[in-house]
Amino acid sequence: MTEVKREVFGQMPQEEGGGMVEKFILKSDSVKVEILSLGCIIAALEMKGRDGECSDVVLGFDTLEGYTRKHPFFGAVVGRVANRIAKGRFAVDGKEYQLFLNNGPNSLHGGARGFDKVLWSPQILPNGVCFFRLSPDGEEGYPGDLKVWVTYTLSGGELAINYRAQTSKITPINLTNHAYFNLAGQGSQDIYDHEISIEADSYLPVDNTKIPTGEVAAVQGTGFDLRQPVKLGKHLQKFHLDGFDHNFCLPQVQARRLAARARHPPTGRAMEVHTTQPGIQFYTGNNLDGSLKGKGAIAYPKHSAFCLETQNWPDAINKPHFPNALLRPGEEYNHTTWLVFNTA
């Protein structure tokens, strides 16, 4: 059985439109998740280690104030288009659209005020919560009224996140959750002792602004071959990598399949990521630099967390040979990701 509770988390500042932010607590016998109505943010996720001790394994803040200031999308649902769009530009049916540039020369995670920075309308379910919002035509430069539902449900050690959307005009869409994990417990110094594996035969090389070059490269014989578990610290050293911030290409079938695994041998905590999405962005917190203080006023240094963001391939809207990024009126965008937490 999953227990669902709601409580007030805080009040949005007036310059952000005011409004009450609620926190929804989903609790099973093995996992407790806290989700905010602001940005559908996973603010905490507690799981047991081998010793039976519970730890919060996602980065974030103790108070609403942390989330209303600038932060790197901790725990949030990002959209209308997650990841990067080159030069913030795309064309649909011959019409050019220009988005806000918030990541060097590119548009990232929905623009200046994406889905992560707005209040969603919640509805409690027997084993979770469903958030809804209407993204109006022209919001952040995107075409069409877009209705979006994000549903979190918890069953035992499995947290399912379902994304649905319908549009009034053809629009690009790519939704994901941007939780930062450290299975040793949030606030631990690094993730070097984690073991990671990703079920991908190919990945997307990127240019110096993190936009895919268009090549779909085989992982075989490279530092991107994560098909067998690697110890992260040793692996980064061996291949002289500064970290990962890359899309790994998954089989393009709309069925649930295993995409990635992460394990922290010292505590026995492990997670699996299953999804219907065609890609997974593996990010090792390269841009964390210790300047942000999170829960318990602990600084979050570089490589102190990892993200496994299930999504479409970055800049797919501008790369015809990448999976389709467009949603049309009368169609429904519908993807699910399952995060399975256990101790091994």
Q: Where are the domains of the chain?
A: 3-343
Confidence grade of residue 339 (pLDDT, cut at 50, 70, 90): very high
**Does residue 325 have a known ligand-binding role?**
no
Give φ, ψ of 14 to 5 degrees.
Answer: -55, -40
**In CATH, what number does 3-343 get?**
2.70.98.10
Confidence grade of residue 16 (pLDDT, cut at 50, 70, 90): confident
CA nearest neighbour of 313 among 164, 227, 239, 213: 213
pLDDT at res. 90:
97
Confidence grade of residue 134 (pLDDT, cut at 50, 70, 90): very high
46 counts as catalytic: no
178 counts as catalytic: yes
> Which of 178, 235, 274, 303 is an active site residue?
178
Query: Is a pLDDT exceeding 90 seen at residue 221?
Result: yes
Query: Is a pLDDT exceeding 90 seen at residue 84?
Result: yes
pLDDT at res. 17:
84
Confidence grade of residue 15 (pLDDT, cut at 50, 70, 90): confident
**Does residue 178 have a known ligand-binding role?**
yes
Contact between 154 and 128 under an 8 Å Cβ cutoff? The reply is: yes
**Does residue 180 have a known ligand-binding role?**
yes
pLDDT at res. 252:
87
pLDDT at res. 281:
98
Category of 39 on φ-ψ map: left (φ > 0), alpha (ψ -120 to 50) or beta: left
> Which of 139, 140, 272, 309 is an active site residue?
309
Distances (CA, A) of 301 to 23, 41, 65, 193, 242: 27, 21, 20, 15, 14
Distances (CA, A) of 325 to 68, 80, 149, 234, 285: 29, 11, 18, 36, 26
Per-residue pLDDT averaged across 51-70, rounded? 96
Confidence grade of residue 161 (pLDDT, cut at 50, 70, 90): very high
Is pTM, for the whole model, over 0.95?
yes
Query: Is a pLDDT exceeding 90 seen at residue 254?
Result: no
CA nearest neighbour of 211 among 250, 174, 245, 177: 245
Distant-in-sequence, close-in-space partners of 240: CB < 8 Å, separation ≥ 6: none
